[in-house]
Amino acid sequence: MGRTRFIIPLLPVSLAAMGLACESNRAVVLGVSTSPPYVDAARLAIEDELAAGPLPRFSTVMMPQGQNLASPAIEAAQRLVEAADLIAVVGHSNSAASLATAPIYNAHQVVQIAPTASATVYSQAGPYSFRLVPPDHEQGLFLAQRLSEILPGGGRVALVYVNDDYGRGLRASLLAELDAQRYRVVYELPQLESPTDDEDAAYAADALGDAQPDLIVWLARGELLARFLVGIRKRLPAVPIVGGDGLGTGGLERVPRVVMGDVRFVAFLDLDATEALRTFRRRYRERFGRDASASAALTYDAVRLAIAGIRTGARSGPDLRAYLSALGRSSPAYLGIAGPIAFDDDGDVQRPYVLIRGGSEDNR
C-alpha cells in the first residue's frame, strides 16, 4: 500500500520518516515539488491509483513550493535526492524552476517529469528530463497564427515578457514569426517573475498607453497582468491582449469582468473538451473548493504516469526512464486524462494548443 508523506518545504528529508526498510525491502520513492494547487492534483492522482488496485511498496514525498523561482526549487531538489530510493520527481511548477533542477536529477539518475515546463532549452536538459507539453518554439508559431486572425494584415504590437528562460525563449520564437507577418513591435517591456508594486505597474501601464499598440502580447504570468490591467484599461480599453500559457497560472480569476476586456491566452488543454477532463474539473472543484487549471490536470497525469511505470516493474530511475522512452514505440502510449502520452528522443510530447478567454469561468 502506498503512503503519502508531506514534508515542509526545504527541511531535510528524513529516511526514517518515510518508512524506508532494509536494503532487501526498500520502498520506491516518488517526489512531488510544485505549487500548492498542483500538489493537490498530485494528491488526487495518488488516491486514485491506490483505489485502482494494490501497488508495490512505495512512498511519496511532497514539497510544495510557494514561489515559482529557481533558488527554492534547487533547495527542494537537493533535499529530495537525499532519498536513496527516489525514482522520480514530478515538478517543478514552471520552466525556470524545472531547468534549474534538471542537472541535479540527471546527475542522480532520477527521472524528472515536468508537467508544464515549455522552455525550448529543456529539450536538452538531459536524458532523465521529460515534460508533458511541447517546447515554446511551437507555441510561438501558434501565437503568431492566432494574432493573424485577430489582427489581420499586420499592425502595431506591444510586447511584455518575463525576463527568464521561459519569457525570453517564447519572445524569440514569436518575434521571428511576427517579422514574417509584417507586424511592427512598437514597445517592449521585460519584467521580473514577481508581481511589481503599484507605482511600477502604473508607470508601465502609462508607457503601454503611450505606445498606442493595436494589440498587446503578454508573455508573463497571470498574476502580473492582474496588477497591470486596471491601468492598461484606463488607457487602452478596447485593445486585445493575447498571452502565452503563463497567463493560465492564476491571478486573472480575481479580475472583475468590467475590467478584463478582451484577454485571450494559450492553454495546453481545454478542460471542457472531453468527459475525462470535465470529470477531473468537477472532482477537483468539489474536493479543493477552487477551479482546476490545465497545469493541475497535467500534474495529475504526470503522477499517474510515474506510478504506471512502477506498476510495470520500474524500481530505479533508469528503469522508469526506459519505460517512458518506450511509450508510443515498443509499447502503447500512456492514456492520461489529457490524452495519449508518448515522448520523442528529447523527452518532449506533441500536444495541440488552444486559445481561451481569460478571467473567471464565466468569462470563458
Q: What is the pLDDT of residues 239-296, one digit of tens each?
A: 999 999 888 877 788 888 888 999 999 999 999 999 999 999 999 999 999 889 899 9
In this model, does residue 18 exceed pLDDT 60?
no
| Mean pLDDT computed over every residue of the chain | 86
28 inside domain: yes
61 inside domain: yes
Question: How does residue 21 score in pLDDT terms, banded at 50, 70 and 90?
Answer: very low
| Res 6: pLDDT | 40
CA dihedral 276, 278, 279, 281 (to 10 degrees): 120
Residue after which a domain boundary falls, among 201, 232, 267? 267
346 inside domain: no
Identify whether residues 141 and 251 lie together within a single domain.
yes
* Nearest Cα residue to 132 out of 74, 164, 77, 90: 90
> 3-class secondary structure for 191-228?
ECCCCCCHHHHHHHHHHHHHHCCCEEEEECCHHHHHHH
Question: How does residue 196 score in pLDDT terms, banded at 50, 70 and 90?
Answer: low
| Res 252: pLDDT | 83
Mean pLDDT calculated for residue range 64-78: 84
Task: Determine the structural domain holding residue 196 and report its residue range.
Answer: 136-267
Identify whether residues 284 and 299 lie together within a single domain.
yes
350 inside domain: no
| Res 164: pLDDT | 84
Identify whether residues 60 and 79 lie together within a single domain.
yes
Identify whether residues 170 and 184 lie together within a single domain.
yes
| Res 325: pLDDT | 98
* Measured distance CA(159)–CA(343) in Å, rounded: 32
Identify whether residues 215 and 331 lie together within a single domain.
no
Question: How does residue 188 score in pLDDT terms, banded at 50, 70 and 90?
Answer: very high
Identify whether residues 11 and 126 lie together within a single domain.
yes
User: What is the domain-level CATH number for residue 228?
Assistant: 3.40.50.2300
Identify whether residues 300 and 235 lie together within a single domain.
no
* Measured distance CA(159)–CA(185) in Å, rounded: 7
How many structural domains does the chain have? 2
CB 193 within 8 A of CB 168: no
Identify whether residues 111 and 36 lie together within a single domain.
yes
| Res 107: pLDDT | 98
Q: What is the pLDDT of residues 310-323, one digit of tens each?
A: 999 999 999 999 99
CA dihedral 288, 86, 351, 170 (to 10 degrees): 90
* Nearest Cα residue to 43 out of 295, 284, 279: 284
Provide CB contacts within 8 A for 324, sequence distance 6+. Answer: 111, 113, 130, 305, 309, 343, 347
Identify whether residues 302 and 261 lie together within a single domain.
no
